[in-house]
Amino acid sequence: MVSGISLDDHYTVPGRHWHSLGDGRVQCDVCPRACRLHEGQRGLCFVRGRVADQVVLTSYGRSSGFCVDPIEKKPLNHFLPGSAVLSFGTAGCNLACRFCQNWDISKSREIDRLSDAANPDDIAQAAVRLGCRSVAMTYNDPVIFLEYAIDVADACRARGIKAVAVTAGYLTDAPRRELFNHLDAANVDLKAFTDDFYRRTCAARLQPVLDTLVYLRRETDVWFEITTLLIPGHNDSDAEIDAECGWIADNLGADVPLHFTAFHPDFKMRDVPPTPPATLLRARQIALGHGLRFVYAGNVHDAEGGRTTCPGCGAAVVERDWYRIDHYRLTDDGRCARCGMELPGRYDGPVERWGPRRVPVSITSGIRS
Ligand code: SF4
């Protein structure tokens, strides 16, 4: 694919993690796709490409828009509960999921429709001004805009704002280490638990995602939670859910929160029905059977699937309805108010009350009307 990449473009910056192949091509090493590029070509993610014999990022400082969301929407249930997060994304994606729920952004090749020019410190300042505790790089995967994502994260941290990524975790070792070194929290999509699903449905592979999860657990302090979108007939069999939950228990431990979320027909999977509530219930029971302690049902009204239970005394310490917190019985440092047991997560002060609102904002002029 040849398209107008230019180093003169204000939004194009030199990329990191690539090398020359010796056959006239250069290889991007950010993700396992290893796109091999001739001059003027873009990679599958579309926002990285080759110009002047180097790999560049063409979306630095360009955003597809900003919203203030509840942190529970990312979803993160154990990270600054109830707080507002400033969310944004750019364009493009390094996976090709047929069920993509953000395809208008992730599959966008019309970079010019990206609406908000946003340098990293503008974003951090906006988060402070809007009362957000964190900034989330979401809507599309920050892996593909790694250089921008890292600068945004650093700008946020310099102003006391946490940096969050919502990611498929599909990247190679060196970029993985670089990116997560700058982040405070992540939600990682574990899209299924078979390599066949990843190959057929996402044009990707399972193992690099598992490598990311193990890396996060064993080598970082990044708080992370996992989401699996259950798609009827594709990744929701008892055997597959059982294998996933067993792997999580064995490799990540029982305290990593797991969110099962409901699919709605979208993009290239409009012929698949929505996930029935019974599937979410079944998945939760399998996960709990493996000893996982914090298993949630998302994208549905489900009192049980929205509840956090204290592993120490069995008290319902947080009760949620979708993204809204209805009851909260944790101390400011995240201990059960009844038995004092410390819950895993990141807690810093009283619960906040942003609620379920999703408010589009312009980071230069405030809340959009
Ligand atoms: S980040 Fe983009 S250009 Fe680089 S290997 Fe992945 S899909 Fe290809």
From the list 43, 133, 189, 116, the residue with the least C-alpha distance to 348 is 133
Q: Which pLDDT score, from 0 to 100, does residue 363 have?
A: 82
Q: Which pLDDT score, from 0 to 100, does residue 365 have?
A: 55
Q: Among 29, 44, 109, name the best residue to mutate to test ligand 1's pocket (greatest count of ligand atoms within 8 A of Cβ).
A: 44
Characterise 34 by phi-psi region: left (phi > 0), alpha (psi -120 to 50), beta (else): left
CA 317, 343, 70 angle in degrees (round to 5)?
A: 65
For the chain, what are the domain ranges? Answer: 13-57, 62-360
In this structure, which residue's CA is closest to atom 2 in ligand 1? 45
Per the model's pLDDT, the better-predicted residue between 221 and 1 turns out to be 221
Distance 69 CA to ligand 1 centre (A): 29
Distance 17 CA to ligand 1 centre (A): 10
- How much is the average pLDDT of 195-206? 94
Residues 6+ away with beta carbon under 8 Å from 51: 5, 6, 7, 12, 39, 40
- How much is the average pLDDT of 274-303? 94
Q: Which pLDDT score, from 0 to 100, does residue 298 have?
A: 86
For the structural domain made of 62-360, what CATH number should be given?
3.20.20.70
| Single-letter residue type at 252 | L
Residue 229 predicted with pLDDT over 90? yes
Q: Which pLDDT score, from 0 to 100, does residue 1 have?
A: 40
Kind of pairing between the strands at 223-230 and 258-262: parallel
Distance (Å, whole) CA 352 – CA 360: 20
| pTM exceeds 0.85 for this model | yes
Distance 334 CA to ligand 1 centre (A): 39
Q: Which pLDDT score, from 0 to 100, does residue 115 have?
A: 61
Helix (H) or strand (E) holding 122: helix 120-129
- How much is the average pLDDT of 288-294? 98
Distance 167 CA to ligand 1 centre (A): 14
Distance (Å, whole) CA 247 – CA 239: 12
In this structure, which residue's CA is closest to atom 6 in ligand 1? 31
Over residues 50-107, the pLDDT tens digits come to 999 999 999 999 888 899 999 999 999 999 999 999 999 988 999 988 877 766 655 5
Distance 88 CA to ligand 1 centre (A): 20
Residues with CB under 6 A from ligand 1: 28, 30-31, 33-35, 43-45, 48, 94, 144
Task: Give 82: exposed, middle or buried? Use CB within 10 Å, 0-12, 13-18, 19+.
Answer: buried
Distance (Å, whole) CA 336 – CA 329: 7
Residue 323 predicted with pLDDT over 50? yes
Q: Which pLDDT score, from 0 to 100, does residue 301 have?
A: 86
